[in-house]
Amino acid sequence: MEALWLSIRLAGCVAVSLLLAGMPLAYWLSQTKWRGKFLVESVVALPLVLPPTVLGFYLLVAMGANGPLGKLWTRWFGHTLAFTFTGLVLASILYSLPFAVQPLVLAFESVDQRLLDAAAILGASRWRAFRQILLPLSVPGIITAVVLSFAHTLGEFGVVLMVGGNIPGITRTVSIDIYDHVQSLDYAAANRMAIALLLISFAVLSTIFAVNRRVWSPWPTK
């Protein structure tokens, strides 16, 4: 159960960080008229199409003792980033980025622009309009973003294996734990973990679909 607890902690950290980082990014994407916007959108969506091992490989290189990020980290904190919990959080943030940003962009874009125009004419600053109009009207999308980034991080395997390795209590997450049990032919242990993950994932998804059927559902709305 150590692995499950670690996975939940990791997913929680990632979901919160992604909400904080994803909100300004999604707001910018939903408002900007910049022509190069599609480039940013592509970068955000990359983890959707890249094999996790590709992302994990480059992150490992960057975080390693000789990588740019690793060097900086070592200078500040005295140890490398790879094979640590923090490294895992950073990697997972990138890996789950589209799962947070896309529902947020969708939610922000579906708020009628005329409401924001009205707020501006009534004297509200952009920040006030964001807090009092855009945010409350985007609540379903925000919930979706948090839940999806949590669930997606919970189930990741490739990136964790590349960047985190397999250190019990530090980087050994549920999916890696299951893989280990299967390798050592301990199917009963693997099954316990797998069922826990299955139930959690089901609970998470049924939460989103219950909260709203509009944003980010693979099922038709009617």
Q: Which residues bind other proteins (CB under 8 A)?
A: 112, 114-115, 117-125, 128, 132-133, 136-137
DSSP output for 42-58: HHHHHHHHS-HHHHHHH
Q: Which residue lies nearer to other proteins by CB, 95 or 108?
A: 108
Q: Which residue lies nearer to other proteins by CB, 9 or 126?
A: 126
CB of 173 to other proteins, least distance (A): 39
CB of 145 to other proteins, least distance (A): 19
CB of 121 to other proteins, least distance (A): 5
Return contacts of 193-201, CB within 8 angstroms, 24+ apart. 193/3, 193/4, 196/4, 197/4, 197/154, 197/155, 200/151, 200/154, 201/151, 201/154, 201/155
Sign of CA dihedral 133, 139, 141, 147: positive
CB of 125 to other proteins, least distance (A): 6
Q: Which residue lies nearer to other proteins by CB, 2 or 112?
A: 112
Q: Which residue lies nearer to other proteins by CB, 75 or 114?
A: 114
What single-letter DSSP state applies at residue 133? Answer: I
CB–CB of 68/62 below 8 Å?
A: yes
Burial level of 53, CB count in 10 A (0-12/13-18/19+)?
A: middle
CB of 122 to other proteins, least distance (A): 4
Q: Which residue lies nearer to other proteins by CB, 107 or 163?
A: 107
